[in-house]
Amino acid sequence: MRSTKLESRADIRARSQVADLPSLFAHSRRYGLLNLQYAIVFSFLIALVGGLIGSLTGCQAAVNGRERLANAAPREVLRIGTSGDYSPFSRWPADESEPAGFSISIARAYAEVRGVDLAWIHFAWPELAIDLEADRFDFAVSGITVRPDRSTRGRFSLPVTTSGAIALVHKASPIESTEDLDRSTLRIAVNAGGHLERVARRLFPSARIHPVANNAEVLDQLLHGHADAVLTDTLEAPHWQRIAETRLRTIGPFTRDRKAAWFSVDRAGEVERFNRWLLATEASGELGRLRDRFDLPSERTASPLPALLASLDERLALMRAVADAKQVLGIATENLEREELVLDGANEGVRRAAERAGIEVPNSLAIRRLFRTQIEAAKWIQTRHRATLPTESNSTDRKANGVAQRELEQVIRPALIFLGDRISMLLVACIESDVRSLSQAIVHEALASHELPDRHLQAIHQALSEIFLAEPRAGHRSSHAHTIQ
C-alpha cells in the first residue's frame, strides 16, 4: 500500500509541473530570468522527468500484477476418464491432443459453467471400474451404459441419451434373426470388457464370442472375415456402416440402454451438481442441440420425468443383488422394520428437496404411497429371483456370510440411498416443471426390463399421477406445463 501511495503522489507532482509550464514562461519573460531557448529546454526536461516517473509507475504496477497472478489460487481441475474409441461419444484421433465427441462436448460445457479446467485420462474398457475405484479420475464420460453392477461401484448421472444393442452382418449374410446368431458355429466379435460383451454372452450363449481389446478394431474382424457378425449399438452402427467398404445389415435392437456419466462413490457432491446442470441444460435446449450435432436420438432423457422413471428403473435393477445377498445370509425378503425406515427417509428426502426448491412440500401420504409401490415391486423381483437360486443358504459359511453382509450394508444399500435421494429430487423437479399427466405406456416402457405384473406397474403409475395431479402449490415457480404422452 505504501509504494502505491508514493507512486500516486509522484504522478501528481509530474502532472502538476507539466501543467504549470505556461506560468513558468510568463514568469521568465516578466523578470528576464530565462530566454525563450532556455524555457524550451527547461520544459523538455520537465516533460522527460514526468515520462520517466510514469514509466517507472507503470513497470511497478506490472510487477504487482504479476505477483497477484502468481499468488492467485490455481483453478480446480476435474480429471475425466474417456475411452477415445467409441463414436459418436468419444474419439481420440492420433493426430490430436484431446478427444472429441458427444460425451466430450458435455464435459467441456459443464466445466465452463463450473469454472474448472479438465484433464483427460484414457481408460480401457476392461479396466474402467478398477480405474474409477482406484481414483484415477473423478468421473468417466464415454457413452457408458447404466448397469446394476456399475450402479453399486459408482454413481451414475441422469441419462443423456439411449441406445440399443444390435448386430452387424454383411448384406449377403444368411444370418437373419437372433436365433441365427445363437449357433455354435457362429463367430461374434465384440468390444472386450464393455456392456456389449455381457449382452453377447447373455443373449448368444451358444455362439463363439470373440472379445476385441480395442473397440475401434471390432469392425475389422467382420470386414476381414474373422467374424460372422459384430455386436455394436444403434448409435455406433451408423458410423461403422459409413466407414465400411461394403454394405452392412443390422439385426436388432435386442436391448434398450441408457447412457450416462459415471462418478466415483466419493464424488456425491459433484454428481449432484452435474445432475442439476443437466436438468438446466436440457430445459434450455443446449443438450438437445448437442444431440442434433452428433445425430443422436432427440429423446429428452435429462428432463425431470424421464429422468425420474430412469431412476426408478435403476433402483429396481439392484434388487437381484439384494436377493443374492439375502439368500447367502438366509434372511427373509420382507423386512417391515426396514421398510418403515425407507418410507420415513423418502419423506424426509422429498421435504428437503422441496424446501431447497422453494415450493410447498408434497403430501406425505402420497409420497409414502409412491415409495410403497416401489418396495412392493422390489420384493416381487427379489422373490422371483430367489426362486432361481439354490434353496440352501450359506449362512453357516462365516466367510461367505461376512462377504454378503458387507456387500449388502456397505455397497448395495448406500447405492439405494443415493438413488432414493435422487428420486426425491426429481419428484420435486417434476412438480417445479408442472408435469400434469403421465400415461401408463410411458411407465410400462421405462420399467419393461423387470417384467413386473400389471398390478405393480399400475400402482406405480397411479401413485405418480396422484402427486402430479395435485393442485398447484404455494411458491410454485414454473409457469410451463408439460404433458408426457
Structure confidence at residue 416 (pLDDT)? 97
Residue-level pLDDT at 215: 94
Name the strand (E) or helix (H) holding 168. strand 165-170
pLDDT tens sequence across 148-179: 999 999 999 999 999 999 999 999 999 999 99
Tell me how far CA of residue 159 lies from CA of 71, 92, 258, 259, 307, in angstroms.
Answer: 40, 23, 6, 5, 7
What integer pLDDT is reported at residue 474 of this predicted model? Answer: 45
334 shares a domain with 412? yes
Mean per-residue pLDDT, 365-393: 93
CATH of the domain at 440: 1.20.59.10
Shared-domain flag, residues 310 and 242: no
DSSP state of 125: G
Is the residue at 155 inside a domain? no
- CA gap 16, 125 in Å, rounded: 72
pLDDT band at 32 (very low <50, low <70, confident <90, very high): very low
Quick one: residue 74, left, alpha or beta (phi over 0 = left, psi -120 to 50 = alpha)?
A: beta
Q: What is the pLDDT of residue 321?
A: 97
* 86 in any annotated domain: no
In a domain, 103, yes or no: no
- The four Cα atoms 78, 268, 416, 411 give a dihedral, to 10 degrees, of 70
458 lies in the same domain as 315: yes
What is each CA distance from 212 to 67, 140, 241, in whole angstroms? Answer: 53, 21, 19
Residue with the bigger pLDDT between 54 and 135: it is 135
Does 15 score more than 50 pLDDT? no
Same domain flag for 309 and 251: no
Q: Look at 204-208, 210-214, 272-276, 430-434 and tell me which has the smallest mean pLDDT.
A: 430-434
Tell whether 260 is covered by a domain.
no
All 3 cell numbers of residue 52?
520517466
Whether 305 has a pLDDT exceeding 50, the answer reads yes
Q: What does the pLDDT average to over 20-40?
A: 41
Cell of 195: 456392456
Given this model, what pLDDT does residue 135 score? 95
Q: Same domain for 423 and 308?
A: yes
243 and 329 both lie in a single domain = no
Strands 77-82 and 117-122: parallel
Q: Is the confidence at residue 375, as pLDDT, over 60?
A: yes
Q: Of 23, 51, 71, which marks where a domain is finished?
A: 71
Give the chain's mean pLDDT.
85
Q: Are 279 and 307 in contact (CB under 8 A)?
A: yes
**Count of all residues that appear for the chain in the document:** 485
What is the pLDDT averaged over residues 465-473?
A: 75
Of the listed ranges 64-68, 77-81, 387-391, the least confidently predicted one is 64-68
Q: Say yes or no: 236 and 308 in one domain.
A: no
In this predicted structure, the answer to whether residue 107 has a pLDDT above a threshold of 70 is yes
- The region of weakest confidence among 94-98, 112-116, 290-294, 406-410 is 94-98
Residues 450 and 359 in one domain: yes
Domain boundary among 255, 273, 295: 255
Summarize the confidence of residues 249-277 as an average pLDDT. 96
DSSP string spanning 193-221?
TSHHHHHHHHH-TTSEEEEESSGGGHHHH
Q: Is residue 334 part of a domain?
A: yes
Looking at the structure, tell me whether residues 246 and 350 fall in a common domain. Answer: no
Q: Residue 339's domain spans which residues?
A: 303-484
User: Is the pLDDT assigned to residue 51 strictly greater than 90?
Assistant: no
What's the gap between Cα 318 and its chain centre? Answer: 20
210's grid cell? 470373440
The answer to whether residue 430 is domain-embedded is yes
Range in 40-44, 324-328, 342-346, 384-388 the model is least confident about: 40-44
What is the predicted pLDDT for the residue at 485?
A: 34
- Average pLDDT (118-142) is 96
Last residue within a domain, chosen from 71, 97, 118? 71
**Which of 422 and 5 is assigned the larger pLDDT?**
422
> What sections of 118-236 are H helices per DSSP?
128-133, 148-153, 178-181, 195-203, 218-223
Whether the per-residue pLDDT at 46 is higher than 70: the answer is no
* Same domain membership, residue 310 and residue 250: no
The enclosing domain of 170 has a CATH number of: 3.40.190.10
pLDDT tier at 229, thresholds 50, 70, 90: very high
Q: What are residue 139's DSSP bridge partners? A: 80, 263
Residue 428 lies in a domain: yes
Kindly tell me if the per-residue pLDDT of 9 is higher than 60.
Answer: no
Task: Please check whether residues 340 and 465 belong to one and the same domain.
Answer: yes
What's the number of domains the chain is made of? 3
* 152: in domain: no
370 and 231 fall within a common domain: no
Please give the residue that has the higher pLDDT: either 4 or 477. Answer: 477
**Environment class of 85 (CB within 10 Å of its CB; exposed 0-12, middle 13-18, buried 19+):** buried
